[in-house]
């Protein structure tokens, strides 16, 4: 091994042999690939996000811009579509909790559709209803 080992030692001496430089570049490229593949598993930002953040004003600003763009897209879609919310219940002995649930459900969309559970279903799950289906 005396001759070959000596050649590699000589490659690294002086100004730097192109082969040694190439190996260094390959090592850096391999490290970048590993970091970019496994950064998500470690809970880190992906490498492209970090690099773009360094050169374009930061990762937080980029994410905020993306969130704002998504919100505007959602608002445009919402303007075009009506959102219908469905809620059902037995509403036997109507009280503040029922009214509050209906109010909150109404706030989730443009239209609120309310279903009243039948007497048979109430008997099967809760017992006999206090008020009849017509009264509810």
Helix, strand and coil content of the chain, in percent to the nearest 5, comes to 60, 10, 30
Q: Write the pLDDT tens digit of every residue in 68-97.
A: 888 877 777 767 788 899 999 988 888 999
Alpha-carbon gap, residue 68 to 95, rounded angstroms:
40
> What is the reported pTM?
0.41
What are residue 113's phi and psi, to 5 degrees? -110, 125
Taking 70 as the threshold, does the pLDDT of residue 50 lie above it? no
Per-residue confidence band for 23, with pLDDT thresholds at 50, 70 and 90: confident
Q: What domain range includes position 133?
A: 82-136
Residue 72 lies in a domain: no
Of residues 42, 79, 15, the one with CA closest to residue 34:
42
- Residue 125 domain-assigned (yes or no): yes
Q: Is 136 contained in some domain? A: yes
Residue 94 lies inside a defined structural domain of this protein: yes
User: Is 118 within the bounds of a domain?
Assistant: yes
- pLDDT tens, position by position, 115-124: 999 999 999 9
42 falls within a domain:
no
CATH of the domain at 124: 3.40.50.620
Q: How many domains does the chain have?
A: 1
Inter-residue contact 32 to 47 (CB < 8 Å): yes
User: What length does the chain have?
Assistant: 136
| CA quadruple 35, 38, 43, 47: dihedral, nearest 10 | 40
């Amino acid at each position: 091994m005396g001759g070959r080992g000596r050649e590699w030692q000589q490659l690294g001496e002086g100004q730097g042999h192109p082969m040694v430089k190439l190996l260094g570049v390959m090592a850096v490229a391999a490290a970048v690939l590993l970091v970019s593949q496994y950064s998500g598993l470690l809970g880190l930002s992906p490498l492209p996000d970090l690099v773009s953040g360094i050169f374009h004003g930061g990762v937080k600003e980029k994410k905020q811009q993306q969130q704002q763009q998504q919100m505007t897209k959602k608002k445009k879609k919402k303007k075009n579509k009506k959102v219908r919310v469905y809620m059902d219940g037995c509403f036997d002995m109507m009280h503040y909790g029922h009214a509050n649930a209906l109010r909150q459900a109404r706030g989730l969309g443009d239209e609120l559709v309310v279903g009243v559970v039948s007497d048979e279903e109430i008997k099967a799950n809760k017992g006999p209803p206090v008020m009849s289906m017509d009264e509810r």
